Copies of this chain bind each other. A is one copy, B any other.
Amino acid sequence: MSFRLKILGANSATPAYGRHQTSQLLQVENCYFLIDCGEGCQMQLMRYKERISKIQCIFISHLHGDHFYGLIGLLNTMSMGGRKQSLDLYGPPDLAEVITALLRCSRTVLSFHIHFHALSFREPVKIFENNLLTVTSIPMEHGTLCAGFLFREKPKPYRINKEFLPEDVTVPEILYLKEGKDLYDAEGKLRYRHSALTLPPRKIRSYAYCSDTRYQEKVIPHIQGVDLLYHEATFMQDQSARAASRFHSTTVDAATIAKKAAVGQLIVGHYSSRYKVLEPLLAEAKRIFPNTVLAIEGQDYLLEE
């Protein structure tokens, strides 16, 4: 079962050196989530042969242009493609107003319905849930209403060990075993311990997206132990004063959060246009948190089960 993050863009305020602004596609099995939508996001999706029609939910972290100016074009293209399936759109309250204004002025009536979910920014809130996973919004500190998003798989069933499964176990009993329950006969006598017939559940995977934010330790408990953390790192450490004044993080900030939250892997991104070459940012982060990688457009970041 796939858990795949595709980086579509990871530059900050303006595009530069062929790098696009922030957009990410997260695939968990057959669920496709778009996280932020910088200008050109739809072209990036096409370029990497991701099917736009599959996107079910779009999460917009905040209303700085580099995180949502591609949204209206993407919605338009979905509509031109004849989409009928409704779309769940999560973002700051003003997003609905501005999208409505754009559609109205371009005389566009979309072919599908948008369910708009206005985010709250006071505390973490579960904003999405299906049979596979939950999504929780987490407040960021960015000088404007800004949310991160935590994607976490739900607890998974025990796996039947077919090698040891006795023939007298019925289908309803198999469901019990998957839930980790032992099997008893009509008299209440233990027939089989589930541990004898099952393998442990597969790993629960999680991904946290922290963008944009200044260094804030209060995010740590909410992302503790996630397998994969994307944390913005707009600047290198020598620009820490600039970072703080703009409510952004440095490579050291991102790596420190990753270390304190004991995450599995850190992806840094949201690069300032001052950096043509990114390896120094990576090196600086790795000194604090060795399992760091750069967010690179077109690359997939996979979580194994």
Q: Could you tell me which A residues sit within 8 Å of B by CB distance?
A: 13-16, 18, 20, 39-40, 42-43, 46-47, 63-66, 68-70, 72-73, 76-77, 80-81, 94-95, 97-98, 101-102, 105-108, 144
Q: Are B15 and A63 in contact (CB under 8 A)?
A: no
Q: Chain B contacts of A101 at CB under 8 A? A: 97-98, 101-102
Bound complex: CA A108 to CA B108 (Å): 25
A63: contacting residue among B64, B81, B106, B144, CB under 8 A: B106
5 sample A-B contacts, Cβ–Cβ < 8 Å, listed by A number: A13-B76, A14-B81, A18-B46, A64-B106, A97-B101
Bound complex: CA A80 to CA B72 (Å): 22
Q: Chain B contacts of A20 at CB under 8 A? A: 43
The residue in chain B whose Cβ has the minimal distance to the Cβ of A39 is B73
Q: Chain B contacts of A43 at CB under 8 A? A: 15, 18, 20, 39-40
The residue in chain B whose Cβ has the minimal distance to the Cβ of A16 is B46
Bound complex: CA A16 to CA B49 (Å): 11
Q: Chain B contacts of A81 at CB under 8 A? A: 14
Q: Are B144 and A107 in contact (CB under 8 A)?
A: yes
Bound complex: CA A16 to CA B47 (Å): 9
Q: Chain B contacts of A72 at CB under 8 A? A: 65, 69
Q: Chain B contacts of A106 at CB under 8 A? A: 63-65, 68
Asked if A14 meets B144 with Cβ closer than 8 Å, knowing A101-B98, A105-B97, the reply is: no
Q: Are A42 and B39 in contact (CB under 8 A)?
A: yes
Q: Are B65 and A73 in contact (CB under 8 A)?
A: yes
The residue in chain B whose Cβ has the minimal distance to the Cβ of A96 is B105
